[in-house]
Amino acid sequence: MLLLLLAFEWNLDWKHLGPPASWASERYCVRKIDGAGGHSSDFGLLGVPWCKSKIPVEWSKSELLFGLYDFLPVYATRPVQHNQWGTRLDHSFGLWFLARRLQPEIIIESGVHRGHSTWILRQAMPNASIITLSPEHPRSHESEGPFYVDAKAFYFTEENFTDFASMDWDQVLGDVVRHRFRVDKAKVLVFFDDHQSHLKRVQQAQQAGFKHLVFDDNYDTGSGDEYSLRQICDQLTTGGGHSCSLSSREAEVRSQRKRAWERAVDMTELCSMSGAWWGIRGEMRDNFDKIKVPISHQDHIENYKLVQSMLQIYWEVPPLASPSLSYQRAYDPARTVGPLLGEDEREVYNRLGLDKLDEWEFSEYIQMAYARLK
């Protein structure tokens, strides 16, 4: 009974009286760095990479928090409970929130694995047409445990697999999805979780006329297996306040952070032998690390200018909770935007039941990014 009352009071609090005062509406136009024992300036004048957004996103922090409240009971019913190699809690929420907020008629998903993210998209948009591209069908992962096949989605897998770049999108959207030639490309959301260079994907999406893109693996400078938006928008001036010197203050901070955070990179991981430090050790990585092309700093800057000229909005999904609540030790909070639930919001964290989740759920945050093209 007490529980019921509490639940009722909680529901009332959220649904009818608005969010707690501490959740006052706050527009996302300014990037905030969670202190958590590290300042962006400790990483050299580079700070934390962030593409420029011409306009702020239309949603607020309180909207994200309300979204989280709606999302958690949905997430609890996911068929793939332990989504090894795929999105976990932070990115599942980000994807669900963006899909609901943008209300696409058609969703294209590149990189499906066991189908967890297809399920997330379906929960967000029950009536949208979903097109999935992946070399294997989700059922090929049967031996690893549960998988999800969406009854209404179109699967371009196995012998029908075609890379996003080679699809005839006008034909597919027209004939397969809508039975008419023209669809509104502004109502299409593309979710990339296929570990391909973001530079390539942004260009291909623009060529196809799509505007709303979500990137799952937006790796930080010096890490990952593809040239990410974060990397592209970083390291723009030679030196840039950064040097590959192993005796610098930055090198010292990096090796300290490396000891505390699994995915932090130290100077030897950031810099190549020749001192190149853009992309990943001076390379543009692509296709799950299978392709590694050394690029000059000049090429890197050209790539940045190109991407920046195409972007209207760049926004990173915030991590759900401060590591002091979730106990995750994977990503360094000094390299991310502030979490939705800060270290002093333990009460809300517990009330949402997040304390019942394994730390594993919070350990695959990789700066999921929403990019809106002009």
Ligand X SMILES: *[C@@H]1O[C@H](CO)[C@@H](O)[C@H](O)[C@H]1NC(C)=O
Ligand Y SMILES: C[S@@+](CC[C@H](N)C(=O)[O-])C[C@H]1O[C@@H](n2cnc3c(N)ncnc32)[C@H](O)[C@@H]1O
Residues that bind ligand X (CB under 6 A): 126-127, 137, 155, 157-160
Angle at 236 (CA atoms; ends 231, 241), nearest 5 degrees = 105
Residue 192, SS3 per DSSP: strand
Residue 223 interacts, among ligand X, ligand Y, none and using kind-specific CB cut-offs from 5 to 8 Å, with: none
Binding pattern for the stretch 77-106 against ligand Y, x by CB under 6 A and - elsewhere: ------x-xxx-------------------
> What are the phi and psi torsion angles at 90 (to 5°)?
-60, -50
Phi (first) and psi of residue 66, to 5 degrees: -65, -40
Among residues 104, 107, 129, 193, which is the contact residue for ligand Y, using CB under 6 A? 193
Least spacing, CB of residue 10 vs ligand Y, in Å:
30
Q: Binding of ligand Y at residue 366 (CB under 6 A)?
A: no
Distance of closest approach, residue 188 Cβ to ligand X, in angstroms? 17
Length of the chain equals 374
User: Among residue numbers 124 through 183, which ones bind ligand Y (CB under 6 A)?
Assistant: 133-136, 163
* Shortest Å, Cβ 166 to ligand X: 15
**β-pair type (311-316, 291-294):** unpaired
Residues 6+ apart with CB under 8 A from 328: 359, 362, 363, 365
Contact 122, 191 (CB under 8 A): no
Are the CB atoms for 227 and 197 separated by under 8 Å? Answer: yes
- Residue nearest to ligand Y according to CB distances in the complex: 86
**Measured from the CB of residue 157, what is the shortest distance to ligand X in angstroms?**
6
Quick one: 178 or 292, whose CB is closer to ligand X? 178
| Closer CB to ligand Y, 118 or 303, in the complex | 118
Report the residue number, 158 or 289, with the smaller CB distance to ligand X. Answer: 158
Q: CA-to-CA distance for 27 and 29, rounded, in angstroms? A: 6
Residues 302/259, Cβ–Cβ less than 8 Å: no
Among 67, 111, 323, 333, binds ligand Y (CB under 6 A): 111
Residues of the shown chain interacting with ligand Y in the complex, contacts defined by CB under 6 A: 83, 85-87, 110-114, 116-117, 133-136, 163, 193-194, 196
